[in-house]
Amino acid sequence: MQRNMPPQEFLAQPFLILFCLLPMIGCGGPAQPPVPIDDSQPPDVVVFLVDTLRADWTGPGGFTKDTTPNLSSLAKQSVVFEQASSAAPWTLPSVVSLFTGKHMAEHNVVHDRLRMADATVTFPQILQEWGYQTVSFHRNPYAGGKWGLKRGFDQATLTKQQTNSSDLAEFFASITALPFLLYVHNTEPHDPHVVRKKFMSTFDPVPSEFLKEYGELVDVYRRSTREDYVSKKPLGTIDNTEIQEKWIRRLNRRREQVQNLYSVSVRDADDRLGNVIDALKQEGRWENTLFIMLADHGEELGDHGGWQHDQSAYEELIHVPLIVRFPKDEHAGQRISYPVSLVDVMPTILEAVNCPLEQPPMSGRSLLPLIRGEANFGAEMRVVSIRNNMKKYFKPYKEGRGDLNVVVRNGDLKAIFNVEPGTVELYNLRSDPGEARDLSKARSTEANELGQFAARRYAEMLKHSDHALAGDLNDQSAEVLKALEALGYLGGESAPPDAPK
């Protein structure tokens, strides 16, 4: 990059542009030719997030079913990070970490009654200041303005459906020859799994009666975990443990069917990924695009006895795909096995586009030195994820692991420091990717060392944390509330019903 592009030259005026384009949209005229690309300009940036996608349910992650043909094709043109961790096991803190390069203990958005501090800087802000056109299409409200995540976007749209190529028509029509940042956040395969009919029989057929039953199962189970939070009572005031255990048993009996439904939902999500990539190619933007595909967290499917997300720090929840395709397929074909975290995405983007603007302090670090073979992240201890539960209560989890868990990686070793009980779980993910054998007693010296590091590092983060601002779901717009309800994040005011045995 030879010069700093002044913002006043390049900032988009999205509302004016869309107003001018309205008479032309849908008129059936000839398609506009692709905008010519100047290779000397910074690349376009697309961050495509698939909500609730486990790394081990994808082709690049080794899944046996063909759930992700488009992602597998993309991986061949990209750098695949085999050991990427989400910064948190649920959407809001994870996406804030993605946008800021900071862990939850630093940005302090630990639940959905808090939003980002005004002083917290996001990578869309930096790119916008540099001159990028910046647009967000998000199906999950937690990626939106109510929590500060509209910051840095010229246009941020809470969509009513999963973003597809056809939904980007207005966006592409507004693009000038200047670089853009596009953030897409789709919610499949998040439950309740609204899958298009053409994919419902991709693997084992999904009976319609099971869809109805599953909707009831996840709705009542979720409400039974959140009753304290919804009623603004301390966690554990209402103990629904017996009810939850009954519903967990019922989910366990349907485990194969639930996993099949999840697979179908992943296949549907992958199709939308492919459509967006095709649209970029048709617009002539693909060659000079930095395309990053990732997930905010995974999903518990009975692996450690749990369901849904936010209730543990095991791999089914924090091991996510991270696939980075550079312009002109640079670095294509690399597979990197060193542990990384989604807090690393922001500095990676800023270095990849050669952004000269000052960057704020963050825990994340650019992955470019790792890609170029100039660094080795595997030979050191590092916090990669944090769970700080303030929303759900299940007595066995509370007594066993507590509500605050700090995850440290050191090569193949993964330690989970359970802060409240003061315990450490230790796993070798190379030999035991399913975390079935806790090595903390057999390798107590390493477990203690990693646990002590987690405690020190977490304390350091707290000393420099941002002051998240108080908010309340009661203040949210009707549109946001409706979208949250559709994803199962609201409800629970009435006691959940007991389950049939």
pLDDT tens across 8-44, in order? 333 333 333 323 323 333 333 334 444 555 567 899 9
Q: Which amino acid is at 274?
A: G
Q: Under a CB-based contact definition with an 8 Å cutoff, are residues 323 and 71 in contact?
A: yes
Considering its fold, how many domains does the chain have in total? 1
Quick check: is 497 in a domain?
Answer: no
Quick check: is 144 in a domain?
Answer: yes
Which tens digit of pLDDT belongs to each residue from 219-238?
A: 888 888 888 888 888 888 99
Residue 408: closest CA among 461, 372, 348: 461
Label residue 166 exposed, middle or buried (CB < 10 Å: 0-12, 13-18, 19+): exposed
Q: What is the pLDDT of residue 378?
A: 61
Q: Under a CB-based contact definition with an 8 Å cutoff, are residues 363 and 343 in contact?
A: yes
Give exposure, 213-225, as e/b (b: 16+ Cβ within 10 Å). ebeebbbbbbbbb
Q: Residue 404: which domain range?
A: 7-26+42-486
Quick check: is 2 in a domain?
Answer: no
Quick check: is 399 in a domain?
Answer: yes
Measured CA to CA in angstroms, residue 125 lies from 130, 293, 381, 421, 469 at distances of 9, 20, 31, 40, 19
Give exposure, 332-367, as e/b (b: 16+ Cβ within 10 Å). eeeebebbbbbbbbbbbbbebbebeeebeebbbbbb
Residue 345: closest CA among 13, 53, 90, 47: 47
Give the E-state strand segments of 269-327 in sequence order: 289-294, 300-301, 307-308, 322-325
Q: What is the pLDDT of residue 39?
A: 61
Q: What is the pLDDT of residue 18?
A: 29
Q: What is the pLDDT of residue 17?
A: 30
Measured CA to CA in angstroms, residue 389 lies from 109, 111, 210, 234, 238 at distances of 11, 8, 31, 12, 16
User: What stretches of 392-492 show up as alpha helix (H) in DSSP?
Assistant: 395-400, 444-463, 478-486
155-158 vs 133-138, strand pairing mode:
parallel
Quick check: is 263 in a domain?
Answer: yes
What CATH number has the domain bearing residue 374? Answer: 3.40.720.10
Quick check: is 493 in a domain?
Answer: no
Q: At what angle do helices 241-253 and 208-230 cross, to 10 degrees?
A: 160
Low-confidence ranges of the chain (pLDDT < 70): 1-39, 378-379, 470-501
Q: Which two tokens stand for residue 333?
A: 């074909």
Quick check: is 500 in a domain?
Answer: no
Q: What is the pLDDT of residue 226?
A: 86
Q: Write down the pTM of the prediction.
A: 0.86
Sign of dihedral through CA atoms 338, 459, 351, 53?
positive
Q: Distance between CA 49 and CA 148 in Å, rounded? A: 18
DSSP 3-state assignment of 405?
A: strand
Residue with tokens 């996406």: 95
Label residue 436 exposed, middle or buried (CB < 10 Å: 0-12, 13-18, 19+): exposed
- Centre a 10 Å sphere on the Cβ of residue 438 and count the other Cβ atoms it contains: 16
Label residue 500 exposed, middle or buried (CB < 10 Å: 0-12, 13-18, 19+): exposed
Quick check: is 110 in a domain?
Answer: yes
Q: Distance between CA 235 and CA 404 in Å, rounded? A: 13
